[in-house]
Structure 1
Amino acid sequence: MFDINKFLNINPNVDDLLNKGISHITEAYHDSIKAGKNSYAYDAHTYHTKVPPQGIEILIKYYTKENDVVLDPFCGSGMTGLAAIRQNRHVILSDLSPAAVFIAKNFTATYSVEAYKKAIDDILKQLASLEKELYTTQCAKCAQPTIQNYTVWSYGLICNECNEEFILWDVARDEKPSYKESKILSQFQCPNCHKVIKKGKLKRTKLNPVSIGYKCCEKGLKDTVHVPTAQDFKALQEINTIKINKWYPKNKFPSGVNTGQLINHGLDSIDKIYTHRALIALAEIWDSCINYKVAALRPLLMWTFTSLYQRVSVLSEFRFWGGSSNTANYNVPQIMNEQNVFKTFKRKANTIVLHLDEIKQHLSKKHISVGSATDLSHIPDNSIDYIFTDPPFGSNINYSEMNFLWESWLQVFTDNTKEAIVNKVQGKGVQDYKALMTTSFSEMHRVLKNDSWLTVVFHNSSGKVWDAIRNSLYDAGFFISDAHIFDKEHGTFKMFVSDNAVGYDLILHCQKNDLLVGHAVVEKSIEDFVREMMKKSDYVFSFIHVERNPETNFRKLYSEWIAHQIVSNNINISFDNFRNIVSKIIEHAKTENASCL
């Protein structure tokens, strides 16, 4: 059996990492950072927010030298640790969430690739007969048994006009020759009364299997699908009678902003977010991981399991272009994609192998622990050479709620008392958030060496939250020297289609120097700023998944404006207000141009 608390608390003495060197960096890093998400490390294990480690490496290399100590007290998945190790720096990481620390410890650890591959094979061979029992279907072409890759499930809905039930998949599916153009309609005719209705306003009934995907028959045949047969329905009925003998979590979801979505759909405990079939498979795999014969590999095998996150749950939304995503919310889709748990586990293991191959043995020392950024008492005063951190973004992500799924499997939970967040269920507003961030930055200021640097990555569309962060830094004693954009290159779907999301992170370069005082720069008006910046073509962009004409990139423009203003001005203008002002400026400019024709 695996002792999770022992694993989380194994660390060297902090004093063994420290040195007495001083900083010789007098100026902030001046360039914007551009680093993509497509890397083995980035793909190995999901987390709600991750800064690409190759981007962090640029800053670590600039601000520190080999054997210096880097700190991240909001470490999340541990990307700062990974970047520090690659640059031969020692690193101290901490996070309020035990799940985050578990993920970070494994991300920064080195394991035998061959031993890991053998362990994965051992587990899958041991459970091969169970996979056949749970996922066998009959090929529609050759009538031979084959293993399913996935099953699509659709909720039944009740028409709000005629009160008749129908299956959403049968009515709203709009398939095109190109999967990129295929979609589930949000508005359609009821198959019974023929009135036009909107799916988002309809009452749900139960989930129904509507499509089974697999590969079979001819060599090189692409994915094949068929509508579930009577034999498939019978198999599912039999599977639903199987008793689960291995342990699995049954923890009740706590009340929360995100967890409320689940509870409202009747999914009030961890076990209810899985199909019975998936839960059978997950319980068996988890048991095999925590009891694997080579004890040293158990954390890595468990990490492979936790990398599945929402992908194997009923929260995995069906997408015509394949796969599934892990999102920072608990949205319950009307059409979900139930993946074969064993195949998904194997795919994630293959990705992790690529990451392990990339991590070389290193001499860097690591101290990774569970703890609040408001209390860094395990670190001496004036001992850290550089801090890179990506703190919570106001109310953007409710980490303690989103990590509850992982922590239920691990059976260690976040104490959210000191979670820096804006969350109405926790009773925390912007001022509470500011107070917690001020305490956290004050602790960072205490442990950082004089004249050394703190880099803060931040992303939020609320002017009040930006103002809270800026004032927290100043109240803690930091001087904000400069600010630039951190471009992660590949935007998320939400970033591209949401009018209220700022799509670019800022990096704030802050120095600990008691002799420095805040300085003011002459404020350019928003209109002058926008007119100048709009001359550049990179403020217009096309959408990837949505058919819309190219538009002004308000998100990037807003981030650039904040980067320009944050070192000197009180930023209390939201993205909505900024967008309205810029829209008027653009319309006025169009009128001016037209009058010149």
Structure 2
Amino acid sequence: MPHQPRLIQDDAPEPTTGDATKAAYRDRLRQKLQDPAFRQIEGFPLGEDEAILALSDPPYYTACPNPFLPEIITQWQQERAALRQQLGLDVGQAVSLPPAQTNSQSYHREPFAADVSEGKNDPIYNAHSYHTKVPHKAIMRYILHYTDPGDIVFDGFCGTGMTGVAAQLCGDRKAVEELGYFVDDQGYIYDQPVGQAVSLTGIGQTGSLPYKPISRLGARKAVLNDLSPAATFIAYNYNTPVDVHAFERQARRILREVEDELGWMYETWHPHCDDPNRVKAKINYTVWSDVFICPECGADMLFWDVAVDKETGYRKGSHDLLECPTCKARRLLKELDRAWITVYDDTLDTTQEMAKRVPVLINYSTSGGKREKQPDQEDLALLERIDQAIVRSWYPKTRMPMGDESRRNDSIGITHIPHFYTKRNLISWSEISRLVKVSSDSLRQSLLFWLQTVGLGQTLLNRYLAASFSQVNRYLKGTLYVGPFTTVHF
């Protein structure tokens, strides 16, 4: 079995698994998926064989129970034994301590009794959002305390795979020292401030030492499991090295290609379509607003107009009265009914009742910087043209699964996955996805990871917050809440 790719690369990166070997593992996984008993394993994901194979990168990552795990564990156990022999230790002996400081071959650790507090502003932590995540630096302290280099750590509810990141970074001197530990030249780790430990001499040698090492520098192995295929896909990408330069080149090439073909959908006139000196500008985002009906006169009440102070950005709360611009009647939001429209739904090939939502603000860029405007006639005509267009690339048409959260938006007509997108973003996003899926095997997974990282910010889940510095990825984490104001980016 090939060696697992390393997150921490040496100056010369290790060769990757050959195409023939990858193909062989993929064929074995394909055959395993034909086994009815394999699919009966509790927690097996819902999905066609090709979808599972497309996400998987066997042997180390499969988007289903991993049939290669016994082989991997056997290989890792052999590597662990070889590592201990290299360090001059018996298979059962504790690696953390120098030979002179232990006479036991049995495993023993005192309970970890220190407070652990780590911030959440680390670039690794912020690379991909998730509703439950523990900073990898916090996990590193536990792994360093309880394990030795080469040991295998199991995380059965891995989420985004921070345990795997932590296990690998236990072999990175800089990462360990950033935790406040001192690492000597032989890789022994001391739980002492650097100022007290630098005077130590002969560390790792026989004799009495003033401080006792708590661990040894070296990567640990990790088995990461989760019931969620989305979680394991994130975990896989967090723990798999990628050619950064090749990734950036391909991502930029995809964006250029899509912009060349579909950039016209994201253009507006500055300052207005009727201005004689108008110039084309690039749209950054469009704000959409819900529409309600006045119970007194039946006129539309654009929530943006009746609930937002355009000067301060202040939005009225649920206990504030909203005044109908037509008849001046004042009502609470809960007393208003939504306005509805009937649209032809390409997804269902039928008509669909949808809560009415209209564009109210365009943020765009010119040579003079970012500007804002109300949509003009050309903007509305452009949206009408886009609504009549056909989505040429594949996109999922799945009904939202049963569940209070997953179907919370049924009441506003959002019942299937495409309904979370404007037609403009559905067209562009499906085209980007197509180009990602036809990319090379070595980059496809990391490009899909990139799309998944920013994907929710391209949907109606992205809330408009006037007081926020950025309108990017402003969705309410852990929910599928669609607010009365949404910011749609590209």
Query: Number of aligned pairs?
Result: 332
Q: Does 1:194 align with 2:328?
A: yes
1:308 CA drift (Å): 2.0
Instruction: Give the counterpart letter for 2:484 in structure 1.
Output: Q
1:153 CA drift (Å): 0.3
C-alpha distance in structure 1 between counterparts of 2:286 and 2:459, whole Å: 12
C-alpha distance in structure 2 between counterparts of 1:226 and 1:61, whole Å: 55
| Structure 1 residues 390-429: aligned runs within 5 Å | none
1:67 CA drift (Å): 1.7
1:171 CA drift (Å): 1.1
Alignment partner, residue 319 of structure 1: 465
Structure 2 counterpart SS, 1:287: helix
The runs of 5 or more residues in structure 1 that have no matched partner are: 341-597
Instruction: Give the counterpart letter for 1:183 in structure 2.
Output: R
Structure 1 counterpart SS, 2:481: coil
Is the Cα contact below 8 Å between 1:53 and 1:82 reproduced in 2?
Answer: yes
Is the Cα contact below 8 Å between 2:55 and 2:233 reproduced in 1?
Answer: no
C-alpha distance in structure 2 between counterparts of 1:61 and 1:164, whole Å: 66
1:200 CA drift (Å): 4.3
Alignment partner, residue 245 of structure 1: 392
- Shift in alpha-carbon separation, 1:305–1:5, aligned structure 2, 3 A: closer
Alignment partner, residue 138 of structure 1: 269
Q: Does 1:89 align with 2:172?
A: no
C-alpha distance in structure 2 between counterparts of 1:42 and 1:176, whole Å: 36
Segment drifting more, 103-112 vs 136-145: 136-145
- Shift in alpha-carbon separation, 1:159–1:213, aligned structure 2, 3 A: same
Alignment identity in percent? 29
Q: Does 1:257 align with 2:404?
A: yes
C-alpha distance in structure 2 between counterparts of 1:86 and 1:166, whole Å: 56
C-alpha distance in structure 1 between counterparts of 2:303 and 2:256, whole Å: 38
TM-score, structure 2 as length reference:
0.64
Q: Does 1:58 align with 2:204?
A: no
1:165 CA drift (Å): 1.6
Structure 2 counterpart SS, 1:156: strand
> C-alpha deviations, 1:175-226, integer Å up to 9, x for none?
455x6xx4354323322343442324532220100000011132xx3x3100
Structure 2 residue corresponding to 1:172, chosen from 307, 318, 322: 307
Is the Cα contact below 8 Å between 1:247 and 1:283 reproduced in 2?
Answer: yes
Structure 2 counterpart SS, 1:336: strand
| Structure 1 residues 9-20: aligned runs within 5 Å | 9=62, 13-18=72-77, 19=80
- Shift in alpha-carbon separation, 1:161–1:39, aligned structure 2, 3 A: farther
1:62 CA drift (Å): 2.0
1:68 CA drift (Å): 1.7
- Shift in alpha-carbon separation, 1:55–1:161, aligned structure 2, 3 A: farther
Return the structure number with greater relative CO, CA threshold 8 A, min gap 6: 1
| Structure 1 residues 337-348: aligned runs within 5 Å | 337-340=487-490
- Shift in alpha-carbon separation, 1:330–1:201, aligned structure 2, 3 A: farther
C-alpha distance in structure 1 between counterparts of 2:262 and 2:118, whole Å: 39
Instruction: Give the counterpart letter for 1:234 in structure 2.
Output: A
1:89 CA drift (Å): 1.1
Structure 2 residue corresponding to 1:213, chosen from 333, 351, 363: 363
Alignment partner, residue 295 of structure 1: 441
Q: Does 1:270 align with 2:441?
A: no
Alignment partner, residue 211 of structure 2: none
1:139 CA drift (Å): 1.6
C-alpha distance in structure 1 between counterparts of 2:371 and 2:238, whole Å: 36
Is the Cα contact below 8 Å between 1:161 and 1:195 reproduced in 2?
Answer: yes
Instruction: Give the counterpart letter for 2:107 in structure 1.
Output: S
Is the Cα contact below 8 Å between 1:157 and 1:166 reproduced in 2?
Answer: yes
Instruction: Give the counterpart letter for 2:294 in structure 1.
Output: C
TM-score, structure 1 as length reference:
0.53
Structure 1 counterpart SS, 2:253: helix
Instruction: Give the counterpart letter for 1:336 in structure 2.
Output: T
> C-alpha deviations, 1:506-542, integer Å up to 9, x for none?
xxxxxxxxxxxxxxxxxxxxxxxxxxxxxxxxxxxxx
C-alpha distance in structure 2 between counterparts of 1:89 and 1:184, whole Å: 53
Alignment partner, residue 547 of structure 1: none
- Shift in alpha-carbon separation, 1:128–1:309, aligned structure 2, 3 A: closer
Which has the greater radius of gyration? 2
1:61 CA drift (Å): 1.8
Compare the two structures and name the one with the higher helix fraction.
1
C-alpha distance in structure 2 between counterparts of 1:183 and 1:37, whole Å: 30
Instruction: Give the counterpart letter for 2:238 in structure 1.
Output: F
C-alpha distance in structure 2 between counterparts of 1:170 and 1:23, whole Å: 68
Alignment partner, residue 457 of structure 1: none
Aligned-residue Cα RMSD (Å) equals 2.1
Is the Cα contact below 8 Å between 1:151 and 1:338 reproduced in 2?
Answer: yes
Structure 1 counterpart SS, 2:109: coil
Alignment partner, residue 117 of structure 1: 248
Is the Cα contact below 8 Å between 2:55 and 2:445 reproduced in 1?
Answer: no
Is the Cα contact below 8 Å between 2:464 and 2:474 reproduced in 1?
Answer: no
Q: Does 1:42 align with 2:177?
A: no
C-alpha distance in structure 2 between counterparts of 1:169 and 1:282, whole Å: 27
Is the Cα contact below 8 Å between 2:285 and 2:489 reproduced in 1?
Answer: yes
1:164 CA drift (Å): 2.8
Alignment partner, residue 25 of structure 1: 109
C-alpha distance in structure 1 between counterparts of 2:108 and 2:297, whole Å: 74
C-alpha distance in structure 1 between counterparts of 2:56 and 2:251, whole Å: 24
1:96 CA drift (Å): 0.7
> C-alpha deviations, 1:360-411, integer Å up to 9, x for none?
xxxxxxxxxxxxxxxxxxxxxxxxxxxxxxxxxxxxxxxxxxxxxxxxxxxx
Structure 2 residue corresponding to 1:126, chosen from 257, 263, 273: 257
